[in-house]
Structure 1
Amino acid sequence: MDTLTRMRAFVAVVDNEGFSAAARAQGRSKALLSKYVRELEDDLGALLLNRTTRQFSLTEAGHTYYRRALDLLREFDDLRDEIRDTRSDLAGPIKISAPRSLADAAIGQSLVDFAVAHPEIRLDIDLDDRFVDLVEEGFDLAIRITQLEDSTLIARRLNPFRLVLCATPAVIERHGTPESMAELARLPFIVDTNARRRNIIPYRDDDGQATSVTVDGRISVNSPLAVRMAGLADLGFFVSPDFIVLEDLQAGRLVELMAGQLENDAGIYAVYPHRRYLPARVRALVDYLADWFKSNCRTPRRNGAS
């Protein structure tokens, strides 16, 4: 019997807190698992478990072996998955979490184009504006449009974007052009409740200091696409990711205001769990998205110039 099988049996017994529970979880007999652990101890020349008729406990050597065995088994399984993925020629499923605004905007085409280019890969795309727990909920990858915070996850920046303060020419004519960000507090505003700080707009003052202004208005909605629609209906000023309003700025339907004052360190990221060996199909998707955004995404010039 090989060491790997014995190692898995030992880890299963510890994880399930006993031979009986481990046997049920593994679909093997309690006697067989006991035999594997005993053979492992004989091979190591060390006692790993203190056994009684009712319970067991780890010895000091058992604690050390368990920690190292977990790392080794994970590395082995990751290596096996990597080789299998390579041999399968990028076939199989990818479970993706993405915000609704990604699919609604033109950049949602990136996932469609990937599906066309890789017919053997199945995409399971869950559109939700909340930040899912990738590990707990079984996602392979998340696409996030945000200011990325520190995380135990691995993130690759696909594309930067700017937040722009916009209004239609009619709104500007009716309410005037604000001369400072602070003036937004008294102007009608369309609030995107998906934004990290909702109705609080962070910006840099004339001295370069970070500050913010609180805005309010008749409409609050959790969709940048709906915010844009309300803005084009002359219902107020609003802040939007540039890729949502690019064509409107270039066509003159919207005008960018206070260019350069909004905080702009956000981006579109591919985020995935920390794995030493990322499945080849997931790596292929991340690489494809990075190339797609580089080739297809443009940033509007300030003040709506084309």
Structure 2
Amino acid sequence: MKLPDFEAWAVFAAVVEHRSFSAAADALSVSKATVSKAISRLETRLGTTLFHRTSRRLTLTDSGRALAEHAQRIRSEGEAAEQAAFESASAPAGLVRIAAPLTFGIKHLAPVLADFLEAHPGIKIDLRLSDAFVDIVGDGVDIALRIAELPDSSLRARRLGPVTAHVIAAPVYFEKHGRPRHPADLASHACFTYTNTASPDYWRFRKAGGEEASVRVDGPIRTDSGDAMLPALRAGLGVAILPGFIVDADIAAGRLEAVLTDWTIGASALHLITPPGTLRPARVEALIEFLSDRLKRMCSEPR
């Protein structure tokens, strides 16, 4: 049996990451023809087409999507093995790509990264902040922070701690429409929904004694950004569920009020996610350990 064509697999991973043959060629410092030949070679060996090619667009086929994660793993572990050899006699150095939710990244991750960079001057950070779902493998991300309960996957996940959410609105809203005493009461309120969840229109609650409740909600705002809800919330236009790191300051200042505080909302937690595989460059390992320590402590601190 012939050995796998590791070079072609690595080229395939680069094309997936950069979304074009030309960009992959530039990133790998090879010619576009070399990239094209490597992809053709791999497709011939596998007996399947990896990309749909047109003059304007390059997209993965179903086979290509299924194999992209394997290609990224092959490339990442090869790079990690070489990097580990290079770094055995030197401090960690190079680029680390991180993805995180927008508000959490600004308020909590960015200050922590400043401390890390001060301690590791040879490392550079590519920080991508968005509340949208990030394809860690396809986008070439080394570390992602996610606030959710995670489905089973081949990604490696480390739970750093719980993230508390609150049912909140402005006091003036509750004075006009009444304060809900049970989650079921929310069905008659104007509820803002956050769309980056599996079922944004259903809010689920649990009480310490074991009672559970699920309520279908509706309202004037649907958005993929928790921060975008704040002006309308402060204006008394509705109710929302938002994590403490977005609304704690408003609650403390009296601009917003938390209700149903004897209920637990969902089961969100902060996770550190990395691509499959166990071999990682020292620069990535250094940041993983640093973030795990600092963010675990942050999650455990009283608000």
For 1:218, what is the secondary structure of its paired residue? coil
For 1:122, what is the secondary structure of its paired residue? strand
Write the distance in 1 (CA, Å) between the matches of 2:201 and 2:213: 14
- Aligned partner of 1:216 among 215, 218, 223: 218
Pair 226,113 (structure 1): closer, same or farther in 2 beyond 3 Å:
farther
1:261 aligns to what? Answer: 263
Pair 201,75 (structure 1): closer, same or farther in 2 beyond 3 Å:
closer
1:7-32, Cα deviation, whole Å (9 max, x unpaired) = 9x84339979xxxxxxx67x9xxxxx
Q: What does residue range 221-260 of structure 1 map to in structure 2 within 5 Å?
A: 221-260=223-262
Q: State TM-score, norm by structure 2.
A: 0.70
Indicate the percent of aligned positions where both proteins have the same amino acid: 33
- Computed over aligned residues only, the root mean square deviation of the Cα atoms, in angstroms, reads 3.4
Write the distance in 1 (CA, Å) between the matches of 2:166 and 2:229: 13
Instruction: Measure how far apart 1:182 and its partner are.
Output: 0.8
- Aligned partner of 1:11 among 4, 9, 24: 4
Q: Which runs of 5+ in 1 are unaligned?
A: 1-6, 17-23, 28-54, 58-70, 301-306
- Aligned partner of 2:113 among 108, 111, 114: 111
Write the distance in 1 (CA, Å) between the matches of 2:197 and 2:250: 21
Indicate the structure (1 or 2) with the bigger Cα radius of gyration.
Answer: 1
- Aligned residue identity for 1:11: P
Write the distance in 1 (CA, Å) between the matches of 2:244 and 2:121: 32
- Aligned partner of 1:142 among 119, 139, 144: 144
Pair 211,237 (structure 1): closer, same or farther in 2 beyond 3 Å:
same
Write the distance in 2 (CA, Å) between the matches of 1:250 and 1:110: 24
Determine if contact 1:242/1:299 at 8 Å carries over to the other structure: no
- Aligned partner of 2:193 among 191, 194, 215: 191
1:30 aligns to what? Answer: none
Write the distance in 2 (CA, Å) between the matches of 1:56 and 1:153: 27
Determine if contact 1:159/1:290 at 8 Å carries over to the other structure: no
Instruction: Measure how far apart 1:76 and its partner are.
Output: 7.1
Q: State TM-score, norm by structure 1.
A: 0.69
Q: Which runs of 5+ in 2 are unaligned?
A: 10-33, 38-43, 47-72
1:261-302, Cα deviation, whole Å (9 max, x unpaired) = 2334211111001222222111111111122224445343xx
1:167 aligns to what? Answer: 169
1:277 aligns to what? Answer: 279
Instruction: Measure how far apart 1:152 and its partner are.
Output: 0.8
Q: Report which stretch shifted further, 108-117 or 144-153.
A: 108-117
